Copies of this chain bind each other. A is one copy, B any other.
Amino acid sequence: MYGSIVPPSASARTDTRLSSLPDAASPVLCAPLRREELRDLVRTQRALVRARGQAVVREGDRADRFFVLNSGAVALQRSLPDGRRQVLDFLWRGDVIGVGDGERFGYDALTLADTALCTVSRPDLERLTEDYPELATRLARIGSERLTHAFDRMTLLGRLSAEEKLASFLLELSERQGRCSGRSNPVWVPMSATDIADYLGLRVETVSRRTSAFQKKGLIRRVESHRIALLDPAALREVAEGGEGDED
């Protein structure tokens, strides 16, 4: 969107050595796994790093592995034969690829920035859930949250205006980054305007125009490369909920 892709604070350290994982509390702050579970995981997991724009999984791949994001960002997406694209979700540190999926992945997963993840085979995870029943519960919760989020997204895509969509998107980014990394206000926006458009069911130009309009109204401010400050989250919330949009 504006500037080069630089992770918010984690710097370029990719942090892929698995041995460092269980001790480091931070990289898995909102991951679904706990220390003792991770300790067992380490035996079977593999770490991997993907540069920006690489595929982690492809639609149709056998879903025989799970992935947990340590850093970076990933987009889940579907592509139509004629090139149209729908971004299904953006994934952040601690998010998981493969939970709640069936036999095969139903989407491509592409990195939006340099990304470090670790991966566990499905049989290994199944074995783990037997040793740690609470883990199964946690995974089920993740699945249900994904579904609830999918319902949110359908409502957004089907019924919100461009302005409402963009406001919702910014607030979602903020909320989600607050949960995962603690810093929710100058929001990290690693994805391109095209990615955002494909997430919201809009075109790039519309995203650009609405972003400019928000900035002109003083609701947001572009602070640096790929970062946006929410100057008036309350007003943004108002816009997102369908408030007239004429009160400035």
A241 CB → nearest B CB, Å: 7
Any B CB within 8 A of the CB of A192: no
Quote the shortest CB–CB distance from A191 to chain B (angstroms).
Answer: 15
Do B150 and A85 touch across chains, with their CB atoms under 8 A apart? no
In the bound complex, CA of A102 to CA of B149 (Å): 12
A80-B159, A100-B100, A158-B157 in contact; A151/B150 too (CB < 8 A)? yes
* A144, CB-defined interface residue at 8 Å: yes
* Copy total for this chain: 2
Given contacts A150-B151, A154-B150, A157-B157, contact A101 B242 (CB under 8 A): no
Q: Residue A88 at the B interface, CB < 8 A?
A: yes
Chain B residues with Cβ under 8 A from A147's Cβ? 100-101, 106, 143, 146-147, 150
Known contacts A145-B102, A147-B101, A147-B143, A85 near B154 by CB under 8 Å: no
- Among B80, B101, B102, B144, the residue within 8 A (CB) of A101 is B144
Cβ of A34 under 8 Å from chain B: no
Please determine whether B242 and A154 come into contact, CB atoms closer than 8 angstroms: no
Q: Evaluate whether A84 and B159 lie within 8 angstroms (CB atoms) in the complex, with A100-B100, A150-B150, A151-B78 already known.
A: yes
A19 adjacent to chain B (CB < 8 Å) = no
Residues 63-97 of A at the B interface (beta carbon under 8 Å): 78, 80-82, 84-86, 88
